[in-house]
């Protein structure tokens, strides 16, 4: 890793990072305000939940208990629905920013620096990872202040989840030359993961589909209540690092347009 490239990458993205931080806080605030608004409508909410399709409840890992407390509601409303989208968008944008240099034809200026290609890419990745961890830490702090619970387990899960999607986006960036496809394919894979989990939990005899989906490893409410799942953390974090290692290998041997 190169310190100069790392500082330049992190500094160039500080405005975007601030916007994502605002997005994270808005997501959490919407969950808090939403719970306060419906807290007095317990019976009506129970009836609404019973009317939802089982596949929807299963896909987002929701239950009747998910909305019976601030922790359950914020987990179901914000952490299981909106927060992952924000973080996948951040990860996709990090990979797309690398592909944008190829698209604009300015990458060769960056690669003329007296460092290796892998060192350059690792510096960009480290800067994105630091930004992601800052967002995850901000989420954990906000949850701790609002719920008064130990959120280190969620920070571990959220960090591993984001690490995986950073690996996906950087691998796509190492294979493609346009930022649009990198961003859209990252989100497309995310949607596919959710779809496989939903089918696996809603169709009889289709539970094997969950083995092909990392979404099934992301369960924020259970993590906040009972602590992290070591296997889930290992698969998400290890998978993300392996994907980046593959991205670095592809990047090192790739021919780029002058």
pLDDT at 239: 93
Domain ranges of the chain: 3-253
pLDDT at 172: 93
Give the pLDDT band (50/70/90) at residue 83: confident
pTM of the model: 0.80
pLDDT at 119: 85
Please name the residues in contact with 19: beta carbons below 8 A apart, sequence gap of 6 or more. Answer: none
Alpha-carbon span 187 to 191, nearest angstrom: 6
Between 122 and 50, the more confident residue is 122
Alpha-carbon span 162 to 165, nearest angstrom: 5
Give per-residue pLDDT as tens, 190-243. Answer: 888 888 777 776 666 666 666 677 877 888 877 877 777 888 899 999 999 999
149 alpha carbon, distance to own chain's centre: 22
Give per-residue pLDDT as tens, 16-41. Answer: 666 767 766 776 666 555 555 555 55
């Amino acid at each position: 890793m190169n310190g100069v490239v790392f500082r330049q990458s992190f500094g160039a993205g500080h405005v975007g990072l601030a916007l994502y931080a605002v997005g994270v806080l808005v997501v959490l605030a919407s969950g808090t305000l939403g719970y306060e608004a419906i807290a007095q409508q317990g019976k009506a909410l129970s009836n609404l939940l019973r009317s939802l399709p089982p596949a929807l409840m299963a896909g987002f890992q929701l239950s009747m208990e998910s909305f019976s407390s601030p922790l359950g509601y914020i987990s179901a409303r914000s952490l299981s629905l909106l927060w992952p989208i924000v973080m996948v968008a951040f990860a996709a944008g990090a990979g797309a920013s690398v592909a944008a240099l190829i698209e604009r034809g300015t990458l060769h200026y960056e690669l003329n620096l007296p460092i290796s290609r892998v060192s350059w890419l690792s510096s960009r990745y480290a800067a994105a990872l630091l930004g992601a961890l800052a967002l995850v830490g901000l989420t954990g702090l906000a949850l701790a202040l609002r719920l008064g619970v130990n959120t280190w387990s969620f920070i571990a899960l959220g960090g591993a989840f984001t690490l995986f999607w950073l690996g996906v986006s950087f691998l796509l960036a190492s294979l493609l030359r346009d930022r649009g496809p990198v961003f859209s394919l990252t989100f497309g894979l995310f949607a596919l993961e959710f779809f496989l989990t939903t089918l696996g939990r809603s169709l009889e005899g289709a539970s094997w589909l969950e083995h092909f989906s990392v979404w099934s490893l992301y369960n924020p409410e259970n993590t906040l209540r009972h602590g992290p799942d070591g296997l889930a953390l290992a698969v998400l974090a290890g998978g993300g690092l392996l994907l980046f290692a593959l991205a670095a290998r592809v990047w090192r041997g790739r021919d780029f347009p002058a």
